Structures are given as structure tokens and as C-alpha cells.
Amino acid sequence: MYQLMKRFLFRLDPEAAHEQVTGALRFASRAPGGKQVLQLMYGYHDKRLETRLWGTRFPNPVGLAAGFDKNAEVYHALAALGFGFVEVGTITPVAQQGNERPRLFRLIEDEAVINRMGFNNLGADHAAQNLSRYAAANVPIGINIGKNKHTPNEEAARDYETCLDTLYPYGHYFVVNVSSPNTPNLRDLQQTESLRKLLEAIKIKKDEWVQRGEPSKPILLKVAPDMTDEQMRDVIQVALDVGLDGIVATNTTLSREGLRDAETSRQAGGLSGRPLTARSTEWIREIRQEVGDKLPIIGVGGIFDGDDAYAKIRAGADLVQVYTGMIYQGPGIVQAINKRLIQLLERDGFSSVEQAVGADAR
């Protein structure tokens, strides 16, 4: 079915196709029995896939990465597609249009996408209204937060604090996004001292909620794949020093190495999809070796099937996320990955997916 839909969708501008898909999911989530139909079609459950992190149960390790549901509008329908968790955003304090269109490009030969969206979203207050029913999704919801384009870096902490303050009641975990290549100078916040000050400010804001009696919720850092080994070690050390709760590895890349689509590859923006598969897996392995068991890792980048997901899990990822893979493979990707994971766990003698985490990094 998706292959027929894909022929239609791939004739559209990529962003227009995305809007068509989110519109269909919005309809499904509101139609009587719509979510139940999606669950019957795409759901898959096996207790061996369950993961517990931060006191939260994830029914399976396959989540949806940030960028698809920017305004937290269709996460109920996405959860019904079988995802073990859904990450919404990136959300900024104030609504912004993002960069000018066109800003999303397919590289079909490479099974990749280039985007320079620029954190287009309707703002934290709008997302908070949409997230008021987040518990009904029945899977953990992550919230990815960023700064507005025109906020100078020296005032960036205020934007992240505002997002956390507005959205804290609604997320199971939060991701600090300082690694998108599409907001000017954002990646400068990954520099050691800037990052330390930012993360310390965010932790203080979280502690204020805890002191008011709210549960402590994990704060994760999403890192770029384009840093040197030394830069990555510095970033990870800051995360450990500040007491963060996890790492998301990795964001999109600025590299264009090895691409077949010479024309489209000249577009500015972050590259995701198949070309990032090996690079992100290697970063996960290096981060796992660096942090040991001190920090959970969410692995993302170029996951198209169960073997890709399993490689990241064995490299050290506790959970994984897909996005570009779903564009090319369709909504059945989650079920297919989970079924394949069970086969691979049985092959290697693991009784649960948690046992496989970091098997290749030890």
C-alpha cells in the first residue's frame, strides 16, 4: 500500500508531501476507531523488546525522531503506528516560520534527505496545549527544545529555560538541541564553556520543578556527528560533569561525502538517511566506550531496517529513532524493525533487547 502512496507523495514537493501525511494522521487520530485501526495494522508487541530507562517503560526500543511532529499535533496517531516512544519538536519559546522554502530535499538515489527547516514551529505555548493529553498516547513522549533564530547565543539559556518551564509537565524526557546545522551559530553552543553554562542553567530550572514536588525528568543532549574525537570527548565530559541523563547521537551532518546525487547534494542543510548509518553507529560505539554505563544513549541516523537498529543497539544505544527511513520505507518500518530485532536477539542468544545494548562496545 505504501509503495502506491509513495509514488504519489514523491511527485510532490517534499514539504507538501509531509503536510499531506500529517494531515492524514491528524484525521486518523480524530476519526472514531482510527487509532485502533492503525494499531491493528502496524502494532507489534513482545516483552523481550521492552526497555526501562529513567523509571519509564518503553514498550519497544524504536522511536520517532524529532522533526516529524514539530508542534506535537499527531503524536497519538504516531504512537498507534507501533513506535515505542515519540519525540516532538524542535520547539522554541516563540513561534517562528523557519527558513525560506524550498528547504527540504530528497536524494532518492542515496536514500537521504537534506533539510534546512530552521526550527519552524508554533511555539512552546501552542505545543503545551497540544500536549495536554500526552498520557493518552500510552507511550513515552520526548520533547526536543531549541532557541529562536534571533536570540543571541549569550542569551540562549533563557530560551531553553522558557521551553522547559512551559513544557515540563508534559514530557517524559527532554532533549537539548544545540546541534542542528540550520540555525545560525547554534552549533557554537557545543563549545565546552558555553555548553557547560547552558546545561547548568537548564538543570537549575529542572530543579525548581522538582523542589515544587514534580517528578525529576531526564534531560538529554543531542550531539552533532561532525565534531572531532577531541571535541566529542569534551562535550561528553561536560554532560557527565553537569549530571545530564543521556545523549542523543547523532543529529544531521554537513558532510556530503560519497553522495550520488551531485546536483541536490549542493543544497545547504543537514543530511540524514542512509549516508549517515555507519557514521552515527561509530559515534554511538565511541560514546558508549567513553561513558560506560553512566549515561543512556538514544541512537539515531540512517536506520532503515532491523539490522541497522540492531547494529546501533550492539554499539551502545539503549533506544533508537527513525525518521528518514520511514520516508522511504513507510509506516510499516517500525513493525518490520521490531520483528527483525526478535530474530536477531534469538540468533545471538539474548533473552531481551536490554542484554544486547553495548555488546560490541565492551
Q: Which residues are catalytic?
A: 180
Q: Is 223 helix (H, G, I), strand (E, B) or coil?
A: strand
Give the whole-angstrom CA distance, residue 175 versus residue 313.
Answer: 20
What DSSP assignment string belongs to 9-71? Answer: HTTS-HHHHHHHHHHHHHHHHHSTTHHHHHHHHH----GGG-EEETTEEESSSEEEPTTSSTT
Amino acid at residue number 283: W
Phi-psi map region of 85: left, alpha, beta (phi>0 left; psi -120 to 50 alpha):
beta
- Going by C-beta distance under 8 Å and a sequence separation of 6 or more, which residues neighbour residue 46? 60, 338, 342
- Going by C-beta distance under 8 Å and a sequence separation of 6 or more, which residues neighbour residue 83? 60, 62, 63, 64, 139, 334
Give the whole-angstrom CA distance, residue 23 versus residue 32.
Answer: 16
Structural Rg of the chain based on CA atoms: 19
- What does the block give as the cell for 7? 509514488
Name the nearest CA neighbour of 218 among 85, 80, 67: 85
Q: Is 358 helix (H, G, I), strand (E, B) or coil?
A: coil
